Amino acid sequence: MVLFYSFVFGQKENILVQKLRDNQTLMKSDMDKGYKELLPLEKQANKENNSKAKLEVLNNKAFYYFTQAQYDKAYKYARQLEKEASK
């Protein structure tokens, strides 16, 4: 079973991380719109080299593919998430 959750990163949450958490909330009500909004957030996370935001992106992607019953892709992103989070 794969569990999806928002990561807690101490008391100082940056704006991009919060946007990604809000994105996951949006995905729960409008999956397609949430995924479309995720892509520019992913670009921003990579551009800023924001490791916390990158983890949230992986979390949201795994969540998206899991809910779309694309389990191979969901597993791929969940494994990536696990690997990056352990660093």
Contact status, residue 45 vs residue 57, Cβ threshold 8 Å: yes
pLDDT of residue 86: 86
CA-wise closest residue to 36 among 60, 13, 17: 60
pLDDT of residue 14: 83
Block means of pLDDT (10 residues each) for the chain, 87 residues, are: 46 76 94 95 93 94 95 94 89
pLDDT of residue 12: 40
